[in-house]
Amino acid sequence: LLLAVPKSIFLPIFIFAFGIGFLQKVIFAVTLTFFIVVLNGIAAARMVPSGLRTAARSFGATRGQVYWQIYLPAMEPLIIEGLRMGFIFTVTGVLIAEMYGAPRGIGRDLFAWGEMMKMPELFAGLLLVVAVTIACNELLRSIEQYRKQRRRRFE
């Protein structure tokens, strides 16, 4: 139900509850990201074949061994994908929180440059945000690809 609601409408509540500053930005970004990562984690846990759990338990695996050697490797691709999507929501959340509820920050600067029609600064700031976001996304994607290749070697 909450995924259907635009999270940015809750920003005034976060500002009221936590004030204007670093804590408010962090909590708002974590809240935006939380649902994406948790739902991906739940979906990943449900995708683990029950036969693997049963086989591991019948061979005497402890609960910890089942989690570390069955669940974690099987869930890893969806967890990394959830982190990638969550990162995008985190960047968006921080920028929105800075634009409307922070005395300083890159989001606040982008907002001010746009209002003052300072297009070179605005485009430079946007380019910076896009470059950093793409670089971090590609880093997570390369980790995902590395893990896939490594997994294929063991299959």
Could you report the per-residue pLDDT of 13-46, keeping only the tens digit for each?
A: 888 888 888 888 888 888 888 888 888 888 888 8
Provide the whole-model pTM: 0.70
Gap between the Cα atoms of 18 and 29, Å rounded: 13
- Mean pLDDT across 64-87: 86
User: Predicted confidence band at 153 (pLDDT cuts at 50, 70, 90)?
Assistant: low
Alpha helices in the chain (DSSP H): 11-18, 22-46, 50-58, 63-66, 72-101, 106-115, 119-154
Residues 102/26, Cβ–Cβ less than 8 Å: no
Residues 6+ apart with CB under 8 A from 114: 122
Gap between the Cα atoms of 50 and 48, Å rounded: 6
- Mean pLDDT across 86-107: 83
* For residue 4, pLDDT beyond 80: no
Which residue type, as a one-letter code, is found at position 112? A
Higher-confidence residue of 128 and 155: namely 128
User: Predicted confidence band at 105 (pLDDT cuts at 50, 70, 90)?
Assistant: confident
Gap between the Cα atoms of 49 and 38, Å rounded: 19
- Mean pLDDT across 78-82: 85
* For residue 120, pLDDT beyond 90: yes
- % of the chain with per-residue pLDDT over 90: 14
- Mean pLDDT across 119-145: 91
